[in-house]
Structure 1
Amino acid sequence: MEAEDRISKVAVLVDEHIKEGLNTLQLSTWAGYSPGYFTRCFKTKFGISPMEYVKQRKLLTAAKEIANGRRILDTALDYGWETHSGFTKSFTSVFGYSPVLLRAFYVRDASVKGDRQSMEAYIKTTQLYKKPEELWQILCLTLKENKTEYDNGKLRSIYELARTLHEGAKRKSGEEYITHPLNVAIILADMGADENTVCAGLLHDVWREEHKEIISRDAGSAVREILFSYEEFERTHESHDDRGVLVALCDRLHNMRTIEFVDAATWKKRAEDTLRLFSPIASKCADFRLRSELDELSIKFL
């Protein structure tokens, strides 16, 4: 058998054993070559290493499952990733966008078709005047319900940081200001966002020059990157990272849910901006439920 045929046979076998923990030794054994020679032949044919090929095939197959409605974490575990965040990082590095986007497209399409049996018709909302600790418990419960992997200690420390930086601030409703980022985080969690994006939701309103150093130090580089993309979107309505866009959209949704507490003179402009800028973006890169609610609230206040 020619070398090219042997390599092609291995590529077929990779797909047949895609959920297994494959390695270069096993692949080279299938080809009947030494690992070194096999790797050289494989790179010649496909242009990438055998294990990079395996990773890309796993991610492509996983993407199809997520696009058909499977939960992100369940899919990630099946294809060999141990954490939601690790899978999201690998997925984004290959495809250029988060798996949350694929999940959102599924929700959107299911909504359009009226197929709501396996999904909630609305994004989770909370009652006004909930205490911060009550909202914190709702956030943790939402993450657990969606089977989103998160470090409770890390998330709690991010929440405490946000609460400290918002200390003394009040919303127009009279509530502690921290209730707003908590609600943004709950919306993100309900949409299936990963831990780092939820953390960015908790910190988005304190991402200012005077706080960037402490946030970068305490929250870490992954959260900082999402906050930079959020800042970019707020400034230009474009961003290199859809996770920052999701934070901005969820921020807008909660602000629209509580719009009655701001000056009535601003209702029209905010509602118009939502319909003109945020709703179209939500339909392209977020949950269809989010687009629907943004439209409903905007029309109500127009």
Structure 2
Amino acid sequence: MGANDRISMVAVFIDEHIKEELTILQLSAWAGYSPGYFTRCFKRKFGISPMEYVKQRKLLTAAKEIAKGRLILDAALDYGWETHSGFTKSFTSVFGYSPVLLRAFYVRDASVKGDRQLMEAYIKTTQRYLKPEELWQILRLTLKENKTEYDNARLRRIYELAEVLHEGENRKSGEEYITHPLNVAIILADMGTDENTVCAGLLHDVWQGEYKEKIAEDAGPVICEILLSYEEFERTHVSSDDRGALVALSDRLHNMRTIEFVDPATWKRRAEDTLRLFSPIASKCADFRLRSELDELSIKFL
């Protein structure tokens, strides 16, 4: 058997053992070559290194499962990633978009087919006038239900930072203002976004004010990157990072859910803006449930 055929057989072996931990030593030994010679032969045939090929095949197989409705973290763990965020980073680097969007496409397709048993018809909502601490517990429960990995101490620190920066503010409903970013974070968590995006949801309404420097210091560069893309989306309705768009869309959804507390003179304008700008974007880059609810709320208040 020639080298070319041996390398082809290795590719088949990789697919047959795709959920296992595969190493260059194992693959080269199976082919009967030294690691160096095997790597050169493999790269000549496939154009990439053996381990890069393994990573891409694992991601592709995981993507197929997510597209069929599997939870992101479950697929990530099966194919060798230890964290939701690590898998998302690898996935995005290969495919150019977040695995959250694949999950959203599944939800959209299930909705179009009327398959409501395989999906919830609406994104999680909360009762009015819950205390911030009650909403905090719902946020944690939602992350747990979606098997989203997160650092409880870090998330709590970000929540408490948002709470301090919103201290003394109230919504038109009379509720403490912090209840709004908590609800935005719950929506993001229910859509399966990662911990950093949820944290950005908690901080989105204080990012554009005087607190940018403090947030940058306390929250770190990844959350700030998402908040910058959120700011870009709010300004232009285009974002270089889909996580920023998801924060903006979740913010709009909660605002539409509580629109009756706003001056009725603004209902039509806000509802029209939602139908014209936000709903089409929601259908392209987010959860179908989000588009559906935005449309229903807009039509109701028009």
TM-score (ref. length: structure 1): 0.98
Q: Would the aligned equivalents of 2:66 and 2:75 in 1 still touch at CA under 8 Å?
A: yes
Letter in 1 for 2:155: L
TM-aligned CA deviation for residue 211 of structure 1:
1.7
Query: Which 4+ stretches in 1 moved above 4 angstroms?
Result: none
Rounded to whole Å, the distance in 1 between the matches of 2:215 and 2:93 is 24
Q: Which residue of 1 aligns with 2:165?
A: 165
CA contact (8 A) 2:28 2:38 kept: yes
In the alignment, residue 199 of structure 1 is paired with which amino acid? C
Q: Find the counterpart in structure 2 of residue 260 from structure 1.
A: 260
Give yes or no for the alignment of 1:116 onto 2:121: no
C-alpha deviation, 1:213, in angstroms: 2.0
Matches within 5 A, 1:206-217: 206-208=206-208, 210-217=210-217
Letter in 2 for 1:266: T
- Cα deviations by residue, 1:43-81 (Å, 9 ceiling, x for unpaired): 222221111110011000000000000011111000000
Residue 118 of structure 1: how far off its partner (Å): 2.5
Query: Does the alignment pair 1:105 with 2:144?
Result: no
Q: How far is the alpha carbon of 1:186 from its aligned partner? A: 0.4
Distance in 2 (CA, whole Å) between partners of 1:228 and 1:5 is 50
* Superposed CA RMSD: 1.0
Alpha-carbon distance between aligned partners in 2 of 1:46 and 1:214, rounded to the nearest angstrom: 48
Count of matched residue pairs: 302
Q: Shift of the alpha carbon at 1:179? A: 0.5
Q: SS at 1:210's partner residue?
A: coil
For 2:22, give the aligned amino acid. Answer: L
- Deviation of 1:210 after TM superposition, in Å, equals 2.5
CA deviation after TM superposition for structure 1 residue 209, in Å: 5.3
Superposition pairs of residues 118-197 of structure 1, within 5 angstroms: 118-197=118-197
Q: What percent identity do the matched residue pairs reach?
A: 86
The 2-side partners of 1:129 and 1:153 are apart by 25
Q: CA separation in 1, counterparts of 2:7 and 2:212?
A: 50
1:29 corresponding residue in structure 2: 29
**Partner in structure 2 of residue 87 of structure 1:** 87
Aligned residue number for residue 199 of structure 1: 199
Cα-to-partner distance string for 1:135-172 (whole Å, 9 max, x where unaligned): 00110011111111111001000000111111111111
Partner of 2:296: 296
Distance 1:230 1:43 in 2: 40
Residue identity matched to 1:300: K
Equivalent residues of 2:110, 2:118 under 8 A apart: no
Q: What do residues 208-244 of structure 1 show as CA deviations (whole Å, max 9, x unaligned)?
A: 2522222122212221111111111111111111111
Letter in 1 for 2:171: R
Letter in 2 for 1:150: Y
Distance in 2 (alpha carbons) for counterparts of 1:113 and 1:146: 23
User: Over residues 114-135 of structure 1, what are the superposed CA-to-partner deviations in whole Å (9 max), with x where a residue is unaligned?
Assistant: 1111321111111111110010
Residue 43 of structure 2 is aligned to residue 43 of structure 1:
yes
Write the distance in 1 (CA, Å) between the matches of 2:222 and 2:22. 29
TM-score normalised per structure 2 = 0.98
How far has the Cα of 1:272 moved from its partner?
0.3
SS for the counterpart of 1:206 is helix
- Give the gaps of 5 or more residues in structure 2: none
User: C-alpha separation between the residues in 2 aligned to 1:213 and 1:45?
Assistant: 50
CA distance in 1: counterparts of 2:207 and 2:170, whole angstroms = 17
Which position in structure 2 is the counterpart of 1:220? 220
Between 97-106 and 43-52, the greater mean CA deviation after superposition? 43-52
**Paired residue secondary structure (1:127):** coil
